[in-house]
């Protein structure tokens, strides 16, 4: 019985030691953690080298200095999930828990507890009695969200129509707005012109 107890106590230590061997890539630290890669999977280690988020395949990479890897900012890391052939984005915290469900058509890393995302809304237009289906319209909006995923500001109030089908969405819809100060955003409008939008938090 004592041997069995010792094995159970040592097993997590042995497994933890094995997971940090033969890594393919180790990134610089961001927000107190570093991403580590093994094969096609990424995980995160803390400053003591302990794996705090086990290796997984849903972490979204960010390009930094010519390299692409997942990062944490404001205790949030981007994740993606494919639903019906369409990619949606959400966020995890440093425990690996999903804190913002993947529901955005595109999203960026957090900065000062807010970020830009593409928020999708479904509008019921009526019912097609011949086909026996509801007629719906999908539209996405460039929005600012807080670290809980709450939409705070609509930067393009008219939105953009989209056919929510993997046959029509070949590339990710682009976020064109840019944060230029704490409360000021540059929002792209028609003819490649820009307008300034001031928001309050």
85-109 pLDDT per residue, tens: 999 999 999 999 999 999 999 999 9
Query: Domain end: 14, 49, 72, which one?
Result: 72
DSSP SS3 for 130: coil
Number of domains in the chain: 2
User: CA–CA separation, 132 vs 6, rounded Å?
Assistant: 64
- Show the domain range for 46: 1-72
Type and span of the H or E element at 17? helix 2-19
Please give the Cα distance from 30 to 191 (Å, whole number): 38
Residue 166 has pLDDT above 90, yes or no: no
Residues 152 and 172 in one domain: yes
SS3 annotation, 88-109: EEEEECCCCCEEEEEEEEEECC
**Are 110 and 21 within one domain?**
no
Q: Residues 30, 90: one domain?
A: no
Place of tokens 């804190």: 99
In terms of phi and psi (left: phi > 0; alpha: psi -120 to 50; beta: otherwise), the region of 94 is alpha
* Domain co-membership, 134 together with 186: yes
Task: Spell out the alpha helix ranges (H) of 20-165.
Answer: none
Rounded CA separation 24/3 (Å)? 35
In this structure, are 31 and 85 located in the same domain?
no
Task: Say what the pTM is.
Answer: 0.84
Work out the average pLDDT over 1-24: 50
pLDDT digits (tens, 9 = 90+) for 121-142: 988 766 666 666 776 789 999 9
Q: What length does the chain have?
A: 201
Taking only the tens place, the pLDDT of each residue in 34-46 is: 999 999 999 999 9
């Amino acid at each position: 019985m004592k041997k069995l107890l010792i094995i159970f106590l040592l097993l997590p230590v042995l497994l933890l030691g094995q997971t940090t061997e033969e890594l393919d890539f180790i990134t610089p630290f961001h927000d107190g953690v570093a991403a580590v890669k093994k094969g096609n999977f990424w995980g995160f280690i803390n400053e003591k080298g302990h794996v705090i988020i086990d290796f997984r395949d849903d972490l979204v990479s960010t390009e930094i200095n010519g390299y692409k890897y997942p990062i944490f900012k404001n205790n949030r890391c981007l994740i993606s999930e494919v639903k019906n052939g369409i990619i949606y984005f959400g966020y995890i915290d440093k425990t690996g828990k999903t804190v913002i469900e993947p529901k955005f058509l595109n999203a960026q890393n957090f900065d000062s507890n807010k970020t830009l995302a593409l928020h999708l809304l479904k509008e019921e237009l009526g019912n097609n009695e011949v086909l026996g289906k509801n007629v719906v319209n999908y539209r996405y909006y460039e929005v600012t969200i807080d670290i809980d995923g709450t939409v705070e500001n609509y930067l393009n109030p008219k939105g953009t129509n989209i056919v929510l089908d993997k046959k029509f969405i070949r590339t990710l819809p682009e976020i064109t707005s840019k944060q230029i100060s704490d409360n000021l955003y540059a929002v792209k409008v028609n003819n490649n012109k820009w307008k300034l939008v001031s928001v309050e938090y």
